[in-house]
Structure 1
Amino acid sequence: MALSISISLYVVFLLIDFLLNSNAMQNYERNALPLITNRRYAGYIAMLNSIFLFFYLLNINDESKKHNIYYCSLLYIVNFSFLTWLGGRGAVFSFLISIILIMLAFIYLKNIALKSIIFLFILSVLSSIVSIPFSIFEWNGMHRFLIGFEDSASLDKFSSGRLSMWADTLVLILQQPFLGYGADAYRFLGPTGHYQPHNFVLQILLEFGLLGLLFLGAFFSSIVKKSIGKLIVNKDQNSILALILIISLFVHGLLDGTIYHAQPVMLLAILCAYAFVYNKAKF
């Protein structure tokens, strides 16, 4: 919850900064826009917050939580509208996958109400509408999700060059598939000038080969297995929430450099540590 509040305060800061310095922001002057170095960095945080708040509000039938409904609804509107405003298609796609998993988990737990789904749908639509007046850049807002849908646009253009990047990475992987080229290999071998190939599976294969992918896959598979076991046996919600947040970062990492950057990797490590230790102690 603290992270959701932090992002909400950050959004307020951005709004005040824009009102006081709108010309500099719109002209892309250095340091005018706090997100100017990489606007997508905040996307995974807003995504995780939105998923957490969606989970919390869907479970608001719990009497002990009902007094927080207005407070958490406001936080959800701010965080989800910020997520929409940022225009990161990978983050929004990961959010959608995550809420599907959440609803499936709640259906299994028989702890889902139609009125809660309708309420969250209304909040999500409202959040998207709230972001529209502030979407003044060509890179942000809901209209960005339509970029690449033109009749003449190629699939590679729609993917912002991801397909070409992945194809080039796959060629490098096939040349040295078992042990890879070492950490940060794409930065030196990739032809695009990026630090990573915007897909964490290809990144691991390139850097550590099949051996590294199998090792990491075994670790995360154990977390998934134990978390699902906790849900089936003990109807445990905390474990499944941690798992869904982990999956959301992985889904985001299939389309972006999420698992490359230190901040999301730190959050991923915390979530994995929680899920692993919690499941080991309780299972």
Structure 2
Amino acid sequence: MSIIENKYGLHKLSILLSFLLFLSIFVNKSSLYSAYYIFILEMFFLISVKYYSSFSVKYYLLEKSNMIQCAIILLIIIFFSTIWNSIDISGGRLATILMFNRVFLLFGHAIFALSCYHYFSLIGFNKKLFISLPIGLVIVCVIFIIEYNFSQQSLINETHLGLPFYFNRRILGFFSIFTCIYLVFETLERTSKTWLLRVLFIVNFSLCIWLGGRAAFISIMFPSLILLFYYLYANINRNNIIVLMLLMIVSIVISIPFSVLEWNGINRLVYQSQIIKEMTINELSTNRIFIWEDALSYIRQSFFFGNGAESFGILTSNTHRFVQPHNFIIQFLFEFGIVGFILLTWMIGKPVYVGLVNLVSGSKMESRDNNMLLLSVLMGFYFQALLDGIFYWGNSMMIVIVLLTALHAHNLNYEKYCSK
């Protein structure tokens, strides 16, 4: 393949990855089908990277990289911990199948991460890659409006936790976190604004409010404030801040007439403010305190190497119906033990640390902006992961992998550039 053809192929990979992120929005109404839907998208990208470039898993396995070596050790621990615990775990053959199904999907995520890292190392990071996600959520909003108004048995109701395309509306909240932070960045960073950007902002931010997720809203606002202070320090056009505030106000106003259910945005705040004095901390946290306390007893029993993949939902099935503990720290400790927790924390923390170092070290403006965008979205995701299953569900895992590999490759490429 010639250099020109190779560059053309890499350009097609950029379009493909953006399109696959777009497709990841439209997940299935079943959690199992959704996991394999995301797996297929990831493997399709892997095959495409292999076809259009010199990607080789064997090359990376032989490479003396701390990150790769750490990932290999972690996968070995997960595999053997799952084998060991599946022998004694209650639930019979079905439990064993579920555990090894999870191991299989985790291996898929790992290979997808390698392909993403290879892609970003070759072509670099471009923020336009992510524009497909807010556009996708606009389409979702249009479908919701049509479905609610014209379907005789609408899935958008008081009792159903899911929505059209989603077995759990929190999954949509993960996408909303991403798109809102991304659009806050674009609004503050751009010197010239387009009406398309403003429409995307209003629709996506209104959707976030309409979903009624308290943690999701905080996960958006905290990184947004960091972005605001960053660009104030960078002496941006102050009109951008005014535009951002106006867009947020318009989004809140627009969300009000669509908030017709008790769990919708403003309605949820009003309802909970009326009964908050009667609620316990556990009720206010939607039973998370109870879930965490229950999980800690199992963590003590298998402290070093955990209870194996997918073990949380199996071991705790007699006490509640949750398949994951709504906290990534407890999830890592529960399933992979303290050893797996240390390895995983280092893997998701190192790219962030390097990104922060390069952010404050006076790197080029474009490099700092790319770091700021990736770090801001990851910051929002990490905060949300303290209260939900960001590191459990396939679609949020796919996005986190893209963000982390983009951040890692971007900063390694910049360090190589500076060393020349």
Is 1:106–2:231 an aligned residue pair?
yes
- What 5-or-longer segments of structure 2 have no aligned partner? 1-130, 416-420
Task: Please give the residue correspondences for 1:47-62 in structure 2 after superposition, counting only pairs within 5 Å.
Answer: 47-60=177-190, 62=191
Task: Return the offset for 1:246.
Answer: 1.5
Task: Return the offset for 1:193.
Answer: 1.8
Is 1:188–2:309 an aligned residue pair?
no
More displaced stretch, 188-197 vs 18-27: 18-27
Instruction: Tell whether the 8 Å contact from 2:310 to 2:335 is kept in structure 1 after alignment.
Output: yes
250, 275, 292: which one pairs with 1:166? 292
173, 176, 180: which one pairs with 2:302? 176
Task: Please give the residue correspondences for 1:111-260 in structure 2 after superposition, counting only pairs within 5 Å.
Answer: 111-146=235-270, 148-149=272-273, 150-190=276-316, 191-232=319-360, 233-234=362-363, 235=365, 236-260=368-392
Q: Deviations over 1:52-82 (max 9, x none)?
A: 010010112x3xxx1x432211100000001
Name the structure 2 match of 1:12: 142
Aligned residue identity for 2:167? T
Aligned residue identity for 2:204? N
SS of aligned partner of 1:40: helix
Aligned residue identity for 1:226? V
Task: Return the offset for 1:18.
Answer: 2.3
Task: Return the offset for 1:223.
Answer: 0.7
The alignment yields a C-alpha RMSD, in angstroms, of 2.1
Higher relative contact order by CA 8 Å / sep ≥ 6: 1 or 2?
2
Task: Return the offset for 1:159.
Answer: 0.7
199, 219, 237: which one pairs with 1:74? 199
Aligned residue identity for 2:373? L
C-alpha distance in 2 between matches for 1:223 and 1:90: 24
Name the structure 1 match of 2:28: none
Instruction: Tell whether the 8 Å contact from 1:87 to 1:141 is kept in structure 2 after alignment.
Output: yes
Instruction: Tell whether the 8 Å contact from 1:186 to 1:196 is kept in structure 2 after alignment.
Output: yes
C-alpha distance in 2 between matches for 1:28 and 1:224: 39
Taking only the aligned residue pairs, the percentage that are identical comes to 30
Instruction: Tell whether the 8 Å contact from 1:250 to 1:259 is kept in structure 2 after alignment.
Output: no
Aligned residue identity for 1:78? V
Q: What is the TM-score normalised by the length of structure 1?
A: 0.90
Name the structure 1 match of 2:220: 95
Name the structure 1 match of 2:175: 45
Instruction: Tell whether the 8 Å contact from 1:55 to 1:102 is kept in structure 2 after alignment.
Output: yes
C-alpha distance in 2 between matches for 1:99 and 1:27: 31
Instruction: Tell whether the 8 Å contact from 2:156 to 2:164 is kept in structure 1 after alignment.
Output: no
C-alpha distance in 2 between matches for 1:33 and 1:192: 22
Q: What is the TM-score normalised by the length of structure 2?
A: 0.62
More displaced stretch, 147-156 vs 120-129: 147-156
Which structure has the bigger radius of gyration?
A: 2
Is 1:264–2:264 an aligned residue pair?
no
1:127–1:22 Cα change, 3 Å: farther
Instruction: Tell whether the 8 Å contact from 2:155 to 2:164 is kept in structure 1 after alignment.
Output: no
Instruction: Tell whether the 8 Å contact from 1:84 to 1:128 is kept in structure 2 after alignment.
Output: yes
1:113–1:177 Cα change, 3 Å: farther
Is 1:280–2:405 an aligned residue pair?
no
1:215–1:131 Cα change, 3 Å: same
C-alpha distance in 2 between matches for 1:141 and 1:106: 29
C-alpha distance in 2 between matches for 1:29 and 1:107: 44
1:85–1:280 Cα change, 3 Å: same
